[in-house]
Structure 1
């Protein structure tokens, strides 16, 4: 049957077919005009039940019918409170605590509800533990440095230590294999319990990077002063020449020892005040991450090859990259102020 709107109604196996876009427009138009459903069905070329379902679905806001949910909105909100109170709980613990209050739901349902809230299970980031006093100290420092210019930050020689392993991180090649080949020798990746590693001290400024120091022993105050003598001062001469500079270091015990302070004063080195446990603020931390990412496809076989690879990769860092990191200093400072002194996610790197 053809209506005045030019639509055709039809049935398939005695069952009304899905409405076309034109039919839906006709139904909506005539329904707004107050026409009865029998008249609308005749004009749209469909059954009256199809008209009724379309009108009722639109009024109720439902797009489709489906199985009734086994949990109520109130029960779902209680699960959300459980997740918010302790986000470190695993799915089994969440399900147990939720069902202990009388909610009848499976673990799969619990998982679906948590995902509906927008949560995903991820490995938590590791950040330094800061107490309230350290939060306030970091916030105060960030507010003091908020208006520093790029020219001021370019006068700072940033320093830090980082550990490099022959097998570091979870990066590396993947393997194509068939079912049952998981333990095949050609599909295995070798691992060692205690991989060989080196600890490195380095420094950088807006002008580039300085020479690396490979640490052989624990860094005590005397050892650190040797590092300052043979690596920090040459880095400053290389990057600043005769210009004044400010030295940045964290608050490790060897750095804040009285003998170290005396050494710095005797050599006329000004030290930048620095908040405790705040690696997110140090741009050299991001530079360590860049070096490690650039080394992912390299496979040193021993410590000597590892040192050579680190040296080569470090030396290949262009001054433009260092300058870019220095010009980004306002970003972590703004993030610290926004977080009220708490750890931020601006500099993401692996120590």
Structure 2
């Protein structure tokens, strides 16, 4: 004989509804809310109900915070250069940098979601540059191959574009 579940079907739907509304919700909050509604359940029961509905805990994706103005400028750039010949692209040097925090978390957070919904805005967090206590890794690439990986410990003076110029002049030879 199988023991009946502690939660009714409606309770399971309520658990899923709470997680859909706020994917950052933790087990203890859901469990406490149910107990206030006179349904005594453990955190593991909440976990099972979410898994039954195909919800899993994932690390929240981090996407750069891009303004509408920047999105428009990026699209205009892509449209302007989309038909350029290979000879043009052979003379382009692509650069990028990434910041890693030294003394704090890189912002890994868990969210409840279904598979395939990773990029839903409810399931992502924003990243903002230049928050202090970090190291920058800078690299470049061109059609001829990859450049060096450069580590920069202090970017407090002048910001990213000045840093790109100085690193480019120091480590990259003109084509």
Shorter-chain TM-score range: 0.5 to 0.7
State the Cα distance separating 1:209 from its structure 2 match. Answer: 1.4
Name the CA shift for 1:205/1:84 in 2 (closer, same or farther; >3 Å): same
List alignment gaps of at least 5 residues for structure 2.
106-133
2:143 to 185, 206, 209: 206
Partner Cα distance (2:77, 2:14) in 1:
38
State the Cα distance separating 1:148 from its structure 2 match. Answer: 5.8
Match of 1:321 in 2: none
Aligned residues: 140
State the Cα distance separating 1:222 from its structure 2 match. Answer: 5.5
2:53 to 90, 96, 117: 117
TM-score (norm. length: structure 2): 0.58
Higher relative helix content: 1
Name the CA shift for 1:213/1:70 in 2 (closer, same or farther; >3 Å): closer
Whichever of the two has the greater Rg, that structure is 1
**1:69 partner SS:** coil
Partner Cα distance (2:150, 2:81) in 1:
32
Q: Judge conservation of contact 1:212–1:231 (CA < 8 Å) in 2.
A: no
Partner Cα distance (2:91, 2:152) in 1:
26
State the Cα distance separating 1:229 from its structure 2 match. Answer: 2.4
Q: Deviations over 1:159-218 (max 9, x none)?
A: 1224689xxx9xxxxxxxxxxxxxxxxxxxxxxxxxxx8644321123211245443542
TM-score (norm. length: structure 1): 0.32
Where do 1:68-147 residues align within 5 Å? Answer: 68-131=4-67, 133=68, 136-137=71-72, 140-141=75-76, 144=79
- RCO (CA 8 Å, sep 6+): is it higher in 1 or 2? 2
Q: Judge conservation of contact 1:198–1:215 (CA < 8 Å) in 2.
A: yes
Q: Deviations over 1:26-83 (max 9, x none)?
A: xxxxxxxxxxxxxxxxxxxxxxxxxxxxxxxxxxxxxxx7333332222211111100
Q: Are 1:157 and 2:93 an aligned pair?
A: yes
Partner Cα distance (2:70, 2:83) in 1:
21
Higher relative strand content: 2
Q: Are 1:230 and 2:170 an aligned pair?
A: yes
Where do 1:27-106 residues align within 5 Å? Answer: 66-106=2-42
